[in-house]
Structure 1
Amino acid sequence: MQESLVFFDLETTGLGRDCEIVQLAAVSGGHSLNLYVVPRCRMERGASRVTGLRVRGRRLYLRRRPVPTNSLREVLVSFIAFLRMLGRPLVLGHNIRRFDCPLLARALDQLGLGAQFRSAVSGCVDTLPLARETLRGRGLRSFRQTDLVRELLGADYQAHDALQDVRALQALYGELRPAAESIRRHGFTLDTMGDKPAPGCKAPRGQRPLWESAGPAVKVNDGEDDAAGRARTSGEGNEKGR
């Protein structure tokens, strides 16, 4: 039985250490989660320009249209529930070891949810170094996610929207088909993400590491965005492309 893979991404108020989460999205096969948060701090102009997200009067707007929002705690609790539904999956994302996961870990720990998240996942893998290793020798100049999707899939997509980013990454991963050893080599946990080189995540006693049996992800087509707060089931410059 193939283990679950969850592709994850954040959109934030900026790229600094003190930036906050504005959008969290995750996808696994046909299951998806897309949630928005009104941040406590101001969004940087550059972040608003590339994401289309702006805060006005304590409401969040995406390209001038209001979007439903939840508290940060509600978003993180929903994300943990999504992960548990999939049975301790492996969480993957592009450049997450240096950006998304430190930000996620800070938010989880501030809200006392760190232990719940750690128990809900098997580990994390950054697809940026994974792609560099897998595609070594291809002569690629850029490993930004948008460039990889264009090069390998011949497609463009609406980058800087977390849901579109994770859908594109899921399809890209299916094309990469990385070796199990490469997946293990680039694995980490929230507790080891600052270590170098990247260690493999340790599985609970009696269990094999998830990446030993992880296969390519299901390739999905873009569909209509899910309503915020719902999981849908059907049938560096920043290397993410920011």
Structure 2
Amino acid sequence: MRYLHLPASPSPPPLSRKLKGEHESCGQWCHAADEGYKPKKLPYGKPLTDPNLKEALGDLMTKYALKSANLSKLGSSQANESFNQMVSTKAPKRFLIKGRNSDIIQIAAKCGDSSFDTYVLPEKPITSGASAATGLSFRRGTLFHHNVEVEAQRAKDGLVKFLDFIKLFPNPYIIGHNIKNFDVPILLFHLDQHDLLSEFETSVCGFLDTLPISRSLFSKEEVNGSYSQQSLVKSLINKNYAAHDALQDVSALQELFMKKIYNENELEKFLFYSSYYKCKDSLQPLVAQKVISQNLMKKLAEASLGLSHLAVIHRRDTVNGIKSIFKKCKFCIRSDVVNKLAHYFDSEL
């Protein structure tokens, strides 16, 4: 076990002292020595004087200073975007799931009669709840399934073999149940961690999530009130299976998909791509500043419109650019939202 020792009473960082009119620790970037200097961003152009406020500010800035190494990788060189990116990385709502970096323990896939299945050695202990649900446990570097040792790969080796399997098929799509909010973010995270993301993105055409498709096709009465994969399989094709085994999961889903869901003309509107997550993350500053709603953020991301795309569109036509792209995408958006977006990008120019 490793410990990090921090000083008990660290000195307040230079920025908090600067706001209080103390400039002894400032660098060359500070202009306090210039003739006629005024801190324009502070109330009435004067340093802070309230002792309680100064103490609270010092405590706050110290906490962030001690975490500077973790907060240094910000999302933009622009001040507002950088701050919002920093805050969003600390807020749970930034991610679609809790723990995008959750361990992958088993990977399975099927295409026709061909299948792939491998266990992956976790980097963190398996919780008792997860172990009870899956039958998997990890002890002394060995993975067990219902107390029977199973052969497991290192994460990168398992992902490479998964990629090799995908490449056997021309223009494949990844299909899964509830993968948009769960499996895909985790998979993309780990692929990126092992420098395999670009290779993966060039090997697949896109993704299909059978959860929203099922909700559009079947009433609750048809699926016994639940859209879980297990309930869909039981209700629609009258089969039971081991729901927490990856290979049985994909085998059951393949049969369900081909018998009850597949319709080439209807599925296109449910396709999504890895760019969805990049666009969604880039739009978080707009949500944080209440410029757009979470719902609009998702719509924009699904249309592959990120923050930089909207900025370029507005720059090319500051009067009607945003309005035109919304009309083209068939978004029914109130004029005040369009105006907020235009104002946001005007302030960034």
Please state which band the TM-score falls in when normalised by the shorter chain. Answer: 0.7 to 0.9
TM-score (norm 2): 0.51
- The CA deviation at 1:18 is 3.7
Please give the per-residue CA displacement for 1:169-205, whole angstroms capped at 9, x wherever unaligned: 001101223332431111111221446247479xxxx
1:84 alignment counterpart: 167
Contact 2:144 2:150 in 1 (8 A): yes
Contact 1:187 1:200 in 2 (8 A): no
CA distance, structure 2, for counterparts of residue 88 and residue 58 of structure 1: 37
5+ residue gaps in structure 1?
A: 1-13, 202-242
2:203 alignment counterpart: 120
CA distance, structure 2, for counterparts of residue 51 and residue 15 of structure 1: 19
Contact 2:109 2:117 in 1 (8 A): yes
1:149 alignment counterpart: 233
What are the within-5 Å matches in structure 2 for residues 57-68 of structure 1? Answer: 57-68=140-151
CA distance, structure 1, for counterparts of residue 139 and residue 261 of structure 2: 43
CA distance, structure 1, for counterparts of residue 208 and residue 175 of structure 2: 5
Matched length? 188
- The CA deviation at 1:162 is 0.4
Structure whose residues are more often strand by fraction:
1
Contact 1:186 1:200 in 2 (8 A): no
CA distance, structure 2, for counterparts of residue 136 and residue 170 of structure 1: 21
Higher-Rg member (1/2): 2
**Residue identity opposite 2:104 in structure 1:** I
Contact 1:124 1:189 in 2 (8 A): yes
**Residue identity opposite 1:153 in structure 2:** I
Structure whose residues are more often helix by fraction:
2
2:294 alignment counterpart: none
Contact 1:37 1:70 in 2 (8 A): yes
1:98 alignment counterpart: 181
* RMSD between aligned residues: 2.0
2:104 alignment counterpart: 21
What are the within-5 Å matches in structure 2 for residues 180-191 of structure 1? Answer: 180-191=264-275
CA distance, structure 1, for counterparts of residue 196 and residue 228 of structure 2: 31
CA distance, structure 1, for counterparts of residue 142 and residue 157 of structure 2: 17
Which of 159, 163, 167 is the matching residue for 2:243? 159
CA distance, structure 1, for counterparts of residue 158 and residue 267 of structure 2: 28
CA distance, structure 1, for counterparts of residue 206 and residue 303 of structure 2: 9
Change (3 A) 1:72 1:33: same
2:83 alignment counterpart: none
Change (3 A) 1:59 1:135: same
CA distance, structure 1, for counterparts of residue 153 and residue 222 of structure 2: 44
Moved more, 108-117 or 15-24: 15-24
Contact 1:125 1:187 in 2 (8 A): yes
TM-score (norm 1): 0.73
Identity %: 35
Larger RCO, structure (CA 8 Å, separation 6 or more): 1
